[in-house]
Amino acid sequence: MSTKPGLPQGTRDFSAATVLKRNFIFNTIRNVFELYGFQPLETPAMENLETLMGKYGEEGDKLIFRILNNGLDNAAKHPQLREDFEKVLEGKNVKGITERALRYDLTIPFARYVAMNHGQLTFPFKRYQIQPVWRADRPQKGRYREFYQCDADVVGSYSLLNEVELTNIYATVFQQLGIDVEIRINSRKILAALAEQCGGAEHMTNITIAIDKLDKIGIDKVKEELSQRGLSNEQIAIIEQYLGINGTNAEKLRQLKQLLGNNTTAQKGWEEIEFILNYTSSLQEASSIVVDFTLARGLNYYTGIIFEIKAKNVQMGSIGGGGRYDDLTGLFGVPNIPGVGISFGVDRIYDVMEELKLFPAEVQSGTKVLFFNLGTAECQTAFSLMQQLRSKGIRCEIYHEQTKFDKQFKYADKKQIPYAVIIGSKELEEKVCNIKNLVSGEQQQVSFHELMNYQFI
């Protein structure tokens, strides 16, 4: 009995061309992370469900992939399991049914790691992590159920130099990849101040959710939504003024100070932003940093500066994001460890680079030389020459079947192999070989010794 092959929804196979291109992105990011002193960490694909639950908001919890426990067919456990399953139907999580889940992001597993190991770690602790994550989302453009994140986080440091360096990392990576981006920054403190100004901190979530949608639904709809969420007309008026802030970064800051000038929380917020702008102002990347007071970000553990990356010239959701969270490990009983981090969404970066044709051709380079197989004795000589070339680090293949020229040429063509080495009976006798450049069609005859020193480009 055979089953029709297929993939789970939202997952993909990656063939050679894709993997090579994606590795180019990974390597670029990894090199920059390491350049800034970050060290690698890997955590398991699955975590205990309770480690993840409640960390991503109500919506996020629904998107966590849960793993069904093994051994549910054990008849002795059935009475208890039936009881447990009733609770699952009510939307509760029960250890007896599902105890583990696939990781949803890299930040919470990292916080879990820090909470478990804080006694051994040297602070500030800088780690980077490149691994897939899983979300039970409905797939669509730029959205997958399995995708890679590349995170860099620093914990144990309040210094804004971290934010400055993370901004630099963003700028450097995207410059190297050739993607034109906006690095949007804001501070949660400014959003908190706005909430204070509008009747209290308890409105913060409502306000951020609504204004985050500004560029999508427009000011009128945002006002409508705020009204529905219980804000008064006066409060909405302040928010409208806030959302009307525009111009250059300096102009935006000036307008913000006018609006929230006497609020000490807001002041801390804009001082953070000004610190980053001052530190990066001498750098070339500075031009891509955009202060955006409407930036909110969904995850509610952020407390300070927040980042979001938007690629220019292409229709795609954010390709990176992050921010400061001053008490993430507090969720795991280890308080007072501040942190700040950023994340790259590799799969979306890939899609952007593909759409804008930004992958360099060298990324694809595979086999350089194909040795033709033109007979038993010919093949033996060719094989030995090939091994010598391989030992010099040149990527070679020999055609394993003895077959017509036509087929061997076509194989080279398909695999985009630029050189063929042809050794037939005549060449074997004279101890020479033909090197054919398959792109230009030029061919030259050289001795075996010369072949070893030939410059294959």
Partner RNA sequence: GAGAGCGUAGCUCAGUUGGUUAGAGCGACAGUUUGUGGCACUGUAGGUCGUGGGUUCGAGACCCAUCGUUCUCCCCA
Sites of contact with RNA (CB under 7 A): 6-10, 57, 59-60, 105, 135, 137-145, 147, 149, 209, 212-213, 216-217, 297-299, 309, 317-321, 343, 345, 347-348, 374, 404-407, 409-410, 412-414, 422, 424-427, 434, 436, 438-439, 441, 443
CA–CA gap between residue 220 and residue 240 (Å, rounded): 9
CA–CA gap between residue 137 and residue 132 (Å, rounded): 15
Q: In what order do the strands lie in the sheet with 369-371?
A: 396-398, 369-371, 419-422, 432-437, 443-447
Amino acid identity at 119: G
CA–CA gap between residue 91 and residue 88 (Å, rounded): 5
Measuring CA to CA, which residue among 52, 45, 36 is closest to residue 152?
Answer: 36
- The pair phi, psi for residue 128, each rounded to 5°, is -120, 160
Closest distance of CB 405 from RNA, Å:
4
Q: Which is nearer to RNA, 7 or 68 (CB)?
A: 7
Q: How many CB atoms lie under 10 A from the CB of residue 132?
A: 16
SS3 per-residue string spanning 69-96: CCCCCCHHHHHHHHHHHHHHHCCCCCCC
Closest distance of CB 438 from RNA, Å:
4
Are 217 and 185 contacting, i.e. CB atoms less than 8 angstroms apart? no
Closest distance of CB 448 from RNA, Å:
15
Q: Which is nearer to RNA, 143 or 257 (CB)?
A: 143
Are 332 and 357 contacting, i.e. CB atoms less than 8 angstroms apart? no
Q: Which is nearer to RNA, 150 or 195 (CB)?
A: 150
Closest distance of CB 353 from RNA, Å:
14
Measuring CA to CA, which residue among 61, 53, 173, 43 is closest to residue 113?
Answer: 43
247 CB-contact burial (10 Å; exposed 0-12 / middle 13-18 / buried 19+) = exposed
CA–CA gap between residue 324 and residue 195 (Å, rounded): 19
Q: Which is nearer to RNA, 16 or 439 (CB)?
A: 439
Closest distance of CB 213 from RNA, Å:
6
Q: Which is nearer to RNA, 357 or 414 (CB)?
A: 414
Distance of CA 449 to the CA centre of its chain: 48
Closest distance of CB 158 from RNA, Å:
23
Q: How many CB atoms lie under 10 A from the CB of residue 39?
A: 11
Closest distance of CB 51 from RNA, Å:
17
Q: Which is nearer to RNA, 6 or 71 (CB)?
A: 6
**Token reading at 438:** 């398959």
Q: Which is nearer to RNA, 260 or 322 (CB)?
A: 322
Closest distance of CB 322 from RNA, Å:
8
Per-residue CA distances from 201 to 19, 55, 195, 204 (Å): 47, 20, 5, 5
Closest distance of CB 261 from RNA, Å:
29
Q: Which is nearer to RNA, 269 or 345 (CB)?
A: 345
Q: Which is nearer to RNA, 11 or 384 (CB)?
A: 11
